[in-house]
Amino acid sequence: MRNAIAEKLNENPVIAAVAEPERLPAALASDCGVVFLLSGDILSIGALVDAVKNAGKAAMVHLELIEGLSGKEIAVDAIHALTRADGIISTRAAQIKRARQLGLATIQRGFLLDSRSVRSLQAQAAQGKPDYVEILPGVIPRVIAELAHGMNTPLIAGGLIKTKEEVVAALGAGAVAVSTTAESVWAL
């Protein structure tokens, strides 16, 4: 599963981040090879993942945004057992570690507010050893460059990315991909 994500990101570094289920059809029709599922609940997530997989795309489930899942490792086990998800997105190192044990692709998501949050994200990534680290907001190329050179984990820039220029800036700064809810960017 990890290799499938890397291959799809090499083909197209734009990730369709779907925050509302009604926007999923546009993501499935896009050229994006990876879809971040940022909404749903424990009853609907299996069907959402199936729709992504049936479209030939990789499905990454953001655990903290799925209603009915806990912040514990059992949430990872549930996604693994009950869906065909390729991997998970989480802000929690323990969930990242559990997903890696199960062979799922992993993305550690971190919100950068100040230099302390940058250091905290680096420490969490060292602990959980995710396949990727997603930083938000992704419109700060200087910080993307700093993290890209200071970590051995590929970076995904996400949050507030709405234009081609912002995609190019994030990729140019060292991100391997960008995630965005902006449908106009999915078409790049």
Q: How far apart are CA 108 and CA 36, in angstroms?
A: 13
Contact in structure between 138 and 167 (CB atoms under 8 Å): no
Q: How far apart are CA 107 and CA 155, in angstroms?
A: 9
Domains of the chain, earliest start first: 2-186 (3.20.20.70)
Q: How far apart are the first and last CA of the chain?
A: 25
pLDDT at 80: 98
pTM above 0.85, yes or no: yes
Count of C-beta atoms within a 10 Å radius of residue 51: 18
Contact in structure between 36 and 182 (CB atoms under 8 Å): no
Nearest to 135 by CA among 89, 99, 94: 89
One pLDDT digit (tens) per residue for the chain, 188 residues? 678 899 999 999 999 999 999 999 999 999 999 999 999 999 999 999 999 999 999 999 999 999 999 889 999 999 999 999 999 999 999 999 999 999 999 999 999 989 899 999 999 999 999 999 999 998 889 999 999 988 899 999 999 999 999 999 999 999 999 999 999 999 98
Q: How far apart are CA 167 and CA 139, in angstroms?
A: 8
H or E element in which residue 67 lies: none
For 134, the 3-state DSSP assignment is strand
Structure tokens, 169: 């800036």
pLDDT at 98: 97
Question: What are phi and psi for residue 15, nearest 5 degrees?
Answer: -105, 130
Question: What are phi and psi for residue 83, nearest 5 degrees?
Answer: -135, 175
